[in-house]
A and B are shown apart, each in its own frame.
Chain A
């Protein structure tokens, strides 16, 4: 080994239990991202070893390295051979080997499996294809925004932020629109799986699979798998001009997706193509309601909308972290990391790093340089749907500007108890009477 090799003895975690706030506690997120906790970790030299879960005899599951600085998240993201997505789990807790295998998707794969899978699906999400969906997304956004304004406001989540992305991803997949509510219901249950409690019994939706083998430990994943299989049968019998057909027909290196790869990927698309964009639209709307001068700036100069989209995404940081596992003894930020250690990239911390973002806690649609990591810190796992998400948020803002829909704060948002997604269950917003506001 090289001189960078470290032994267990030199990895001293005991001196680094300095994290002042338990950033892994889902309940903490009911009050929003614990930014002061992330700031304290960011400002600590090296990496902070953060306690998490029971400490086994080997100390293996006793915590993770909390990576919260922009530069460190970037370095990790671009070194997937050192920081694996396929070992353990990409969430904080470890999965048993059979569960990991059953649940494996693009997100928890390394090269070469990841490369093959990613190539199968990349062609669907190119900038060019995304542009082809823009008109469809714009029509949906316009209708939802008009209805919301006509009603004088209400629950932004239920009326705009949830239906817009799910309708778009379902149209792309070729799934009937009338199933949108059912699929939103299922993905809401998946989000519960990242928090402390599930509201579902293990046998919900006719599930008979042990929940530990299902994504998010949720029986709702069983229902999504069943739905994916129904779509597969439908499109094998009658191919369409849609993504499900594309996935079934796609080949990479002469191979098609296996049945398990297909259903995990369908599940991933319905979840990630829906929940994350919804979250960005929720936090964006709340930010504009709370900072009316920012909305006025945008309305007066719509050329700022493209930049505003990225500021909304930075502000929202819909996915709070991704976890990796060290494949070898290595080093990050001057801290020795041992093979097998959990190392967690906290995008929530990186996106408020003052080294990169001047006045990071200011929501500023005129921010010119905005290298946020809400789509990941680079590297092969960079968000597949980044162009799609940006396009959807862009058409939403454009349709709101075109109609001069000015949002006003209502009651406080109802946040989710999750350390993984920056979710909001409901958000009451008002709409300023026409011609007023800003």
Chain B
């Protein structure tokens, strides 16, 4: 009998091999060249999964619409991030040991995120998510400073506790599924049987899962370590956290939402998510007025957008579509902004508000990226985020949540003011005395312009294939 490996096996084996090669080969050129086969592997795998949409390859993996959408985003970012990793390492004059460790863990991190997205078994999804935590903590630790140490310790510890909470949620779902005689925890089997399960266990399970996975998505209640992580990690990695990991956390929560959406607890879940979303936006608004450095500012902005996505899900109807679209666009915008803030940090040797200024004149290309990114991230037209937020509010008003709508809009105004104040200071305020700066090549801003251009293009004229995939991923949900 000949053994023909399937796509999944090829992908994980080749990915692990590349990661191991990066770890053990201590040569800078080879290390960065190894990114090429990795990018090719990632693109091939995304393509292969898109082709076999909804065909279960085996019991444990299946790619559905939402997996493909977010997998494509991760693939795009995992192609762009290595370049910024390179600039970042050159700027810090990292040793070859640090570079090879960082690259190897980065590749493994992307593999694990992909694993979460395509898992069709809840236990397996959990295991992949925990693995992303482990990789992420090593990536955060890259600078080896005391702040990085603190952030990575807090991240791995609180994440592990959070993910343990989520596991309890999975076990509660297991109890519920036993009562319905559905022993197998695969998504397909559970989806067919949740309707017969005890709603109280399902409610408990959902609460634990949202609490646990909130640490991955960076939303209430366990958002704090995620903010610290985005602050202390290298900027390209922060971009991966905001653009990749956040979606992965969302998918993890969304899988449970999909499972329970046809049961009696659907309305109750919507209310839980809505309260969570409003709290997210509230906390983000408060902290955005208080933060002192740009990376934390962007991190809190991610939390605000996570809140908006949850709000869209809780509103239902057109909101499901809006939530997925919002997260996709937010990923591209925020990744672009984090890449650019990394440059700002290298240019002024700092990321605090009091050490920067006059960026538009000193680096017109980078300044344009930030200005464009600012317009995109606050969801001002022509940004695509405007469309998704508009749909979210439409869904809210359709369902009669007028007061929630008014409250959220007021909070978003505060966010807009806070973000605008900080961004305008960086772009146009005169440089504080005594601050020196380095020159940065304008070529480094190209990838950001491409990302932000895509955000605007998708707002003005969303490509049909993308809207189809998003519709695919949410069409099973009840109105």
A-B interaction = no
